[in-house]
Chain A
């Protein structure tokens, strides 16, 4: 009402929506490229000797060849597919074990949620990358995607737990309880609004985070297992020759970067950032 309270934020939601749309469009494009990889790629995954060794990009091999004569374009597409599938699985695990569980834990009876929150805080005190590597060490590399998802879950859990606790003691929750709206209805309300309004954002943010974790795990030798190479493993294999033949690492790195970038844009830069 007074001169102080009026702030113009008209442009912000539209800009965010545009950024989000651009991000999802990019992810869709990547998904289409991955879906058509068998058509676009000239060779199956890990097919060696397709072309000369370490040939630079040319009209014949658009992204060049690597040290084993593999077509970098084909390999990048196949690796992108593997990365996307693993990242998708890891994201689903993060959402279920992290975000959703955090939301429910905030409303567990007898303050048992506090104990779970404490435990999530302990796990969250270790970098997600190292936690994921630990899980892979205990299981095997076959479970890398699950490990990455579980490693990202503590942070997602803590975020939604804290948010759910804040909601449950908010003025509007108090008002609702004072008028007979019970806890279960309030939880359904919060669940519906939080996940309806922010599900895509949370999912996109989780996708970006687990993609970084998974690719780094593979690079360090704790992720994908050949012949199902992902982008991280592909870049790791390129280490021996990329100083002379930059294309063997640059293009997979670019594909990885684009995937992560589009995921972050699809989250509308929602890490407390403003455009």
Chain B
């Protein structure tokens, strides 16, 4: 177990080092003369790595405040969106993924799912906006007007569409991971072998199949996180949420490289942490399953 933990910690550390390197490469673009030649860029890169080592992440050229401060203001908004979206994704995608992977009749519904999965996030969000405006007659929610959180109705209206957008994208990723894991588990000979020996299908699925499927889901945490953050970028843009993802877009557009680099690092770090947590979860499930 210790060996496993050390290995995963080493992988996480290597990932975070890589993320720092990537962020430094981006932030180095902000240095004067950095884009004039390889030598100048390399010097800027080294200087940037040195700055990171001293926890100096630079200043936003747009707002003038430290990049870390900018991120501190925006990141909680994105994390709220992604967090709520993840819950929706789990509720929608979890049962769907397992059902579609195990039940033959329901696999006929897979083509329908393809139509949903083929829809880009921005198309889905615009469609939701249209439905909210023309069917539910909600007032325009694309402006960043945040009602008093004490007003439940307004809060729901503000949150619903962006959270649903992110949640749908996350659900697609979750159901894919579950279906992949379920498909692998369904093909294994042990299901038939244990049936012949006297166990019921229900017991085999509960005791052996489900942990295997959940292990597969854990191993996909990183991919699911990527899908959620990519969807959050679009949702923040469409619905006007002042989150870190839209901060990244604006920073890139205006060449505010320090801020862009920091946001990039945070997103990459979250992905590596998700992978780490997923591997730990998968290992815990495997260990539990072995003893069951």
Contact = CB atoms under 8 A, between A and B. Distances in A.
A and B: direct contact (Cβ < 8 Å)?
A: yes
Interface of A: 3-5, 7, 118-119, 121-123, 125-130, 133-134, 136-138, 208, 212, 215-216, 219-222, 232, 235, 239, 242-243, 246, 249, 253, 256-257, 260-261, 264-265, 269, 271-275
B176 A122 contact: no
B237 A118 contact: no
A126 B271 CA distance: 8
Which of B15, B26, B230, B260 is the most central at the interface, judged by chain A CB atoms within 10 Å of its CB?
B230
B208 interface: no
A264 B118 contact: yes
Nearest to A254: B123
Contacts of B117: 264
Interface stretch (B53-61, B68-76, B158-166, B179-187): B179-187
Contact of A274 (B107, B129, B222, B271): B107
Contact of B230 (A130, A138, A219, A260): A130
B110 to A, nearest CB: 6
B18 interface: yes
Given A137-B252, A274-B183, A125 B189 contact: no
Interface residues of B, number: 57
A271 B126 CA distance: 26
At the interface, is chain A mostly helix, strand, loop or mixed? helix
A4 B193 CA distance: 6
A4 B123 CA distance: 47
B179 A274 contact: yes
Nearest to B14: A118
B100 to A, nearest CB: 9
Contacts of B229: 127, 130
A122 B230 contact: no
B248 interface: yes
A220 B249 contact: yes
Contact of A138 (B21, B29, B237): B29
Given A127-B226, A265-B114, A275-B111, 17 more contacts: A7-B187, A118-B14, A126-B268, A127-B267, A129-B230, A130-B245, A134-B26, A136-B252, A137-B253, A138-B29, A219-B122, A220-B233, A239-B126, A253-B127, A260-B119, A264-B114, A273-B179
A216 B130 contact: no
Contact of B123 (A123, A235, A273): A235
A128 B234 CA distance: 13
A272 B97 CA distance: 12
Contacts of A138: 29
Contact of B118 (A4, A119, A208, A242): A208
A211 to B, nearest CB: 8
Contact of B234 (A4, A220, A222): A220
28 contacts: A3-B196, A4-B193, A7-B189, A7-B192, A122-B15, A122-B268, A125-B272, A126-B267, A127-B229, A130-B229, A130-B267, A133-B248, A136-B252, A138-B29, A215-B122, A216-B121, A216-B122, A222-B252, A239-B126, A243-B129, A249-B126, A253-B123, A260-B118, A261-B114, A261-B115, A271-B176, A272-B180, A275-B107
Nearest to A133: B252
Contacts of B179: 272-274
A139 to B, nearest CB: 11
Nearest to A260: B118
B120 interface: yes
Contacts of B89: none
Interface string B1-40: 0000000000000110011011000100100000000000
A84 B110 CA distance: 26
A130 B264 contact: yes
A275 B115 CA distance: 13
A272 B183 contact: yes
B167 interface: no
B255 A137 contact: yes
Given A4-B196, A122-B268, A222-B253, A257 B119 contact: yes
B91 interface: no
B134 interface: yes
A134 B264 contact: yes
Contact of B192 (A4, A208, A242, A271): A4
A121 B15 contact: yes
Contacts of A118: 14, 18
B95 to A, nearest CB: 17
Given A220-B237, A243-B133, A257 B115 contact: yes
A121 B176 CA distance: 21
Contacts of A130: 229-230, 233, 245, 248, 264, 267
B101 interface: yes
A111 B204 CA distance: 42
A275 B19 CA distance: 38
Contacts of B134: 243, 246
B110 A253 contact: no
